[in-house]
Amino acid sequence: MTQIAYLLVSGGATNVVVAQAKTLAGTGDGVVVQYDGAAPRSNHKRIAETLGDYPNVVVSTRRMIGDRRDWSMVRATIHAARVGLAQFPDASHFYLMSETCVPIKPAAHIRAALATDDRDFVESRPLLGSEGDWLRYRHVISPLRWPRLYQSSVGWQRKLGLTRTAPADLQMMAGSPWWCLRRASVMRILDFMAVRPDIKRFFRTTAYPAETVFQTLTRHLVPGFQVVPKSPTFTVTATEARALDHAMLMKRPEFFVSEAESAAVALRPGLLDLYRKGPPHLLTGLDVMTQQQAVMADHTAADLAQTG
């Protein structure tokens, strides 16, 4: 039986995090809330108190900073995954997300899709252009907190030729930070990192490791035919977000949409309702068009029969 444990790594507003956790857990799946240690301690306390007795929700007691630009996000994800493995022994899949991720498919549809396609969903592609700098140079300065110092550090390393090489047995991959991995794959990755401290040492001083660690290690440890190299979450640009509507999202093959806060304010209630109550099999845009054409053909045939 397919059961998902959602790893909700978040630092957002408490009401949004609580609502997200309740929605995800309300259909029978598990949720681990890993709240950002950089956010006010009172926020974490409020979330823990509100969700303390809520079924299928576990609020991590460890507050850990989760900056997607440095190692802290990976560290928070690893901790959330360990909590999920321990607290949800029946979970078959682990889905990483933040509070910015909004479902665009019903819970029943997502579980049915994962049950019929026994693979890991993680965008994993070769690094492009300047992305190679993420691994080539040592990054010990947060590009978010100190952007000028970060750029200066990279510039001096480039000027002095202070490059390094990745672990020889790994083919480096990059992709969206949001993924859905099977239980066995998560365990394999965590066990691999435990016996290979050099892997953790290397990635700890890379830039944007949330977009390279799980992407690289999944492809290294899981046979290629068991991996869908695409994220199950659709990440939109600011321009795309302004043009989003319900019909457009329904045509997407992904399960969630991310970074669409401005558009999701209006769409969120309907999408959450669809997630809770929608059928396991949705009509795609092509299905709807075909159905409409069939209805029109029936009406035409009926009209001809009447006139004939």
Question: How many structural domains is the chain composed of?
Answer: 1
Q: Return the pLDDT at 12.
A: 84
Task: Quickly tell me which residue has 């809330």 as its tokens.
Answer: 33
Q: Please tell me the predicted confidence (pLDDT) of residue 210.
A: 94
What is the CATH classification number for the domain harbouring 42? 3.90.550
What is the pLDDT at residue 147? Answer: 82
Predicted confidence at residue 286, as pLDDT, reads 35
Domain membership flag for residue 286: no
C-alpha–C-alpha distance, residues 114 and 121, integer Å: 9
Examine residue 217 and state whether it is found in any structural domain, yes or no. Answer: yes
pLDDT score at 262: 57
Low-confidence ranges of the chain (pLDDT < 50): 283-304
Quote the pLDDT of residue 39: 85
Q: Please check whether residue 257 lies inside any domain of the structure.
A: yes
Per the domain annotation, does 70 fall within a domain? yes
First-to-last alpha carbon distance for the chain, in angstroms, is 55
Domain containing 202 equals: 4-132+172-277
DSSP 172: -
Residue 160 lies in a domain: no
pLDDT at 171: 94
Distance between CA atoms of residues 153 and 141, nearest Å: 8
Confidence at residue 282, expressed as pLDDT on a 0 to 100 scale: 58
| Among 97, 102, 105, residue whose Cα is nearest residue 80 | 97
89 falls within a domain: yes
